[in-house]
Structure 1
Amino acid sequence: MRVAPKEIQSFRDDFTYTNSAAAIERFPFPFPEDEYRYSVNIEAHQPKGGEGSAFEHYIDIDEHYLSEMAERELVLKDMPNRCLVMEHMDLACWEMLERYMVSLAEDYPEHFTLTRDGDSWRWENKLLHIDDHFTFGDSATLPRPPLDYIGRQVQGDFALMDQREGNLFMDAGMVTCPADWSLAFDAGMSFDEWHGPVPMVHNEGIIDRARKYLMALPVGQPVRRLNWTLTVNARMDTSSETYNEWGHERASITPENVGEKIYLRVEVQVLDRMPRSNAVTISIRTYLLSLEDLVTNKAWAVRMHRTMKTLPEALIHYKGLTRFHGMVVDYLAQFDPAN
């Protein structure tokens, strides 16, 4: 699917967000088996699935681009600290800006143009009507600091990890659509510390292996993994800071509305080594799909039922599914011929 952004839809209040048939077809369904167990599940971030796939390009831009950029502006207007950069991460931020601008201009030339003459750069984003000339490396020549500038033009959240002292530290990021966590709380934490609440992974050594793998990640060989949860309503911003706005929605699910109101929320997480700063960037691209839309794919409906039915109790609690998990299983059961 080539980029054809829809008019702005809402991820809050009246929740006008919808997926087209093409968006449903390209949704990154996260379950390869009938049972789900927490794992690192890392693969090379290379094109996969053919033209129009969510994995076709380094950065995925889709029909929700304008809606997500509008939502990001609302969040940052209310909470500017959703974008945080420690002083020593300036070079890493410029490298991230470079990586994203080059990728967008190469993969979506009809929407993005990058012209470079030494350190004198011109960036055009036709979707957001941006046309800026600046000097690479000089923040004073940009309307905003580099991470803040490019982060408002790319779908998904972003964190930059500094590698030192035998660990990775979350020292910069822009996070406006997290799944129940907070950049302001996690900033400066080590890789092990911010993964502390995840059940089972420490006893099984998953976090230790993941950290060692990422610390050895070479330049020019990005990797990706999928993460998922279930969320109520098409709400992008389910941050810890706004829990009072969305936490109560978990109690609103009934057998009658579960298909409409419960969304499978999938994150495509891409990790990439920056060549000069040695920082590791992680982009967290979020996709939302209602159960009603999901079950239009019969194979997904069956697989989803079986993974939810066998989900370990610890993961049900960790992912915040306790109130409605049973209703989700019952709803999906009607689409599983083996049930």
Structure 2
Amino acid sequence: MRISPKPVQSFRDDFTYTNSREAISRFPFPFVEDEYRYSVNIEPHAMSGPDGSVFEKFLDIDEHYLSEMAERAIVLKENPARCLSMKHMDLACWDMIERVMSALSADYPEHFSLTKQGDNWHWHNKLLDIQEDFVFGDSSTLPMSPLEYIGRQVQGDFAILDQRNADLFMDAGIVTCPADWSLAFDAGMSFSEWHGPVPMAREEGIFERALKYLTAIQVGRPVRRLNWTLTINARMDTSPETYPSWGNERTSVTPENVAEKVHLRVEVQVLDRMPRSNALMFSIRTYLISLEDLVTNPQWAKRMHRAMKTLPAPLVEYKGLTRFHPMVVEYLSQFDPVN
């Protein structure tokens, strides 16, 4: 099953974003047990998942492609600093261009094509009506920086992590739909520094195990994990920079509108070793589903109720759910026969 991109819908203001029945069925539901605890939960990103699933291809292109690219353009116009790269990351950004273009053209030939004659490349993005002749490695042959050029054409946020001294540093990225974090703030930070706010993980040694695992990732063996939170309205950009636009939405949830307004927000996070620079490309692909749509799957509704009901208080606070968490639990309880 392939889902073709549909016309542009909005992730702000009137929130016209909707999921089709097919998009709901392929949503990456994150709860595998009745209780949720923070964990690394890393597994190989084998790119051979079930047909039509979000794990079938290295990069998932779905019905929201045009909408997300339109949202990215709006965010970058408002704040160009959402895309940044330190000078020593130039090669890593070209690594990303090759990885993304090669994957999209191989997996979605009806939408993308890439031809190469040595360092002279031709790229065609049929969905955005973009054609470009450029010289690989020569930034002057592109209309903007390599990172921004490719970042404007692929769903999800991207951070490029430089590896040195047995640690990872967030030294480049294009991040326009973050879940309450800021690329500008985290830029240059080490792995443990940008994960510092996560509760309960440091005491359990999760960071140390994760870092050791990630720094050992080999070329051609990407890994993935799922992360989640709850977002009010179908809003992609919940960054600290735009907090005045969305912070008060947490107070707008009522028992009457909780199913419509509260969205489960799931990130499929993939880490892939780049061959030239040895950097890690960290893609953060975000999916949104309203509780109203989620409960059309009875198993999801029951499992999410149990996970929310037993969620530790520090995680409720860390994820910013305090104001509406009880209403979410109460709403979902009606779909759980043992509550």
Q: By how many angstroms is 1:275 displaced?
A: 1.0
Q: How far does residue 49 in structure 1 lie from its aligned partner after superposition?
A: 4.2
Cα deviation code 1:185-206 (max 9, x no counterpart): 0000000000000001101000
Q: Give the match for residue 102 of structure 1.
A: 102
| Partners of 2:233 and 2:263 within 8 A in 1 | yes
Counterpart residue number, 1:63 = 63
Q: Which residue in 2 is equivalent to 1:36?
A: 36
| Residues 85-100 of structure 1 mapped to structure 2, 5 A cutoff | 85-100=85-100
Alpha-carbon distance in structure 2 between the residues aligned to 1:47 and 1:191: 26
Question: Residues 229 and 48 of structure 1: is their aligned pair in 2 closer, same or farther, counting only changes over 3 Å?
Answer: farther
Would the aligned equivalents of 2:156 and 2:285 in 1 still touch at CA under 8 Å?
yes
TM-superposed CA distance for 1:46, in Å, is 1.2
1:204 aligns with 2:184: no
In 1, Cα distance between equivalents of 2:255 and 2:180? 24
In structure 2, runs of 5+ residues without a counterpart are none
Question: CA separation in 2, counterparts of 1:130 and 1:51?
Answer: 28
Counterparts of residues 67-216 of structure 1 (less than 5 Å): 67-216=67-216
Partner Cα distance (1:319, 1:63) in 2: 28
1:295 Cα offset (Å): 0.1
Write the letter of the residue equivalent to 2:308.
M
Q: Distance in 2 between matches of 1:3 and 1:102?
A: 20
Across the aligned residues of Structure 1 and Structure 2, the Cα RMSD in angstroms comes to 0.6
CA shift for structure 1 position 145: 1.2
Q: Is the 8 A contact 2:49 2:57 kept in 1?
A: no
What is the alpha-carbon distance in structure 1 between the residues aligned to residue 44 and residue 211 of structure 2?
Answer: 16
Aligned residue identity for 2:50: G
**Distance (whole Å) between structure 2 residues aligned to residue 146 and residue 130 of structure 1:** 15
Runs of 4+ in 1 over 3 A off after TM superposition: none
Correspondence 1:9-28 to 2 at 5 A: 9-28=9-28
Shift of 1:337: 1.0
Shift of 1:50: 1.4
Q: What does 1:248-287 correspond to in 2, within 5 Å?
A: 248-287=248-287
Distance 1:125 1:276 in 2: 25
Other structure's SS at 2:210 match:
helix
Measured after TM superposition, the shift of residue 338 of structure 1 is: 1.1
- Residue identity matched to 2:8: I
Whole-Å separation in 2 of the counterparts to 1:216 and 1:48: 22
- Asked whether the equivalents of residues 305 and 336 of structure 2 are also in contact (C-alpha less than 8 Å), the reply is yes
Q: TM-score of the superposition, structure 2-length normalised?
A: 0.99
State the percentage of identical aligned residues. 73
